[in-house]
């Protein structure tokens, strides 16, 4: 048996245990009875670092509601760093 994840527009996500390879693309939501689409999620999320989990969740959300860029253009110039003090003692050409 494999665990498949589905997402209902009204109720959110739920899991179903089905025989491997037999999961349909849509399924009836157990709460409201509406159509729920299959969600492809990576295995082993319990042992994944929190930063990776957050990145994956942000990527999932961006499919349905992408973040809007308000300001465009070139990035702000970086402040130049002073040279390392040890470089002052090197001979100049």
In a domain, 81, yes or no: no
What value does the mean pLDDT of the chain take?
A: 82
**pLDDT computed for residue 29 by the predictor:** 92
- Retrieve residue 78's tokens: 């970086």
In a domain, 31, yes or no: yes
Lowest mean pLDDT among 7-21, 36-50, 51-65: 36-50
Domain count, the chain: 1
Query: Which residue range is the domain that position 44 belongs to?
Result: 2-64
| Torsion sign (Cα): 64, 67, 73, 76 | negative
pLDDT digits (tens, 9 = 90+) for 22-50: 888 999 999 998 999 999 877 765 677 88
User: 0.85 exceeded by the pTM?
Assistant: no
In a domain, 69, yes or no: no
**pLDDT computed for residue 38 by the predictor:** 93
Q: Beta partners for 14?
A: 6
């Amino acid at each position: 048996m494999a665990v498949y994840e589905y997402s209902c527009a009204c109720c959110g996500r739920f899991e179903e245990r089905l025989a491997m390879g037999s999961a349909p693309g849509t399924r009836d939501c157990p709460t409201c009875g509406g159509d729920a689409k299959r969600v492809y999620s990576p295995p082993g999320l319990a042992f994944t670092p929190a930063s990776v989990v957050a990145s994956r969740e942000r990527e999932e959300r961006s499919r349905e509601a992408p973040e809007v860029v308000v300001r465009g253009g070139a990035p702000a110039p970086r402040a130049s760093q002073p040279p390392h003090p040890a470089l002052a003692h090197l001979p100049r050409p």
